[in-house]
A and B are shown apart, each in its own frame.
Chain A
Amino acid sequence: MVDSFACSFLATELDARSGICSVVERLQDMGLPEARAHEVQIVLAEAVNNVIEHAYADAPLGNVYIHCNLNTERLWINIHDAGAPLPDEKLPAGKLIDLSGPTEDLPEGGFGWFLIRALTSDIRYERRCGNNQLALCFEINANEAETTNVVP
Chain B
Amino acid sequence: MSLTSTMTGNAQIVTVNAERIDAAIAIQFKEDMRSETESGASRVILDLSEVKFIDSSGLGAIVAAMKQLGSDRKLDLAGLTPMVDKVFRLTRMDTVFDLYASLNEATAARKS
Using a CB–CB distance below 8 Å, which chain A residues touch chain B? 13-14, 16-17, 38-39, 41-42, 45-46, 49, 52-53, 96-97, 99, 103-104, 106-112, 114-115, 118-119, 148, 150
- Does B22 lie within 8 Å of A111, measured CB to CB? no
The 4 A-B residue pairs with the shortest CB-CB distance, nearest first, are: A13-B24, A108-B60, A111-B56, A45-B55
User: Which residue of chain A has its CB nearest to the CB of B83?
Assistant: A38
Q: Among the listed B55, B60, B71, B87, which residue makes an inter-chain contact with A104, where contact means beta carbons less than 8 Å apart?
A: B71
Could you tell me the dominant secondary structure of chain B's interface residues?
helix
Which residues does chain B contribute within 8 Å of A53, judged by CB atoms? 23
15 further A-B pairs in the complex, CB-CB below 8 A; given A108-B61, A109-B56: A16-B24, A38-B82, A41-B53, A45-B22, A45-B55, A99-B96, A103-B66, A106-B63, A106-B67, A107-B60, A108-B60, A108-B64, A114-B91, A115-B56, A119-B90
- Interface residues of A, dominant DSSP: helix
Establish whether residues A52 and B60, one from each chain, have CB atoms under 8 Å apart when the complex forms: no
Q: B46-71 interface mask toward A, CB cutoff 8 Å, 1 = contact, 0 = none? A: 00000001011101110110110001
B92 CB–A CB distance under 8 Å:
yes
Residues of A within 8 A of B7 (CB): none
List 22 contacting pairs A-B, 8 Å CB cutoff, sorted by A. Answer: A13-B23, A16-B23, A17-B22, A38-B82, A38-B86, A42-B83, A42-B86, A45-B53, A49-B23, A53-B23, A96-B91, A99-B92, A103-B66, A104-B67, A104-B71, A107-B60, A108-B64, A109-B56, A111-B59, A112-B55, A115-B56, A148-B90
Of the candidates B22, B64, B87, which one forms a contact with A115 in the assembled complex, judged by CB atoms under 8 Å apart?
B87
> B residues engaging A (CB < 8 A)?
20, 22-24, 53, 55-57, 59-61, 63-64, 66-67, 71, 82-83, 86-87, 90-93, 95-96
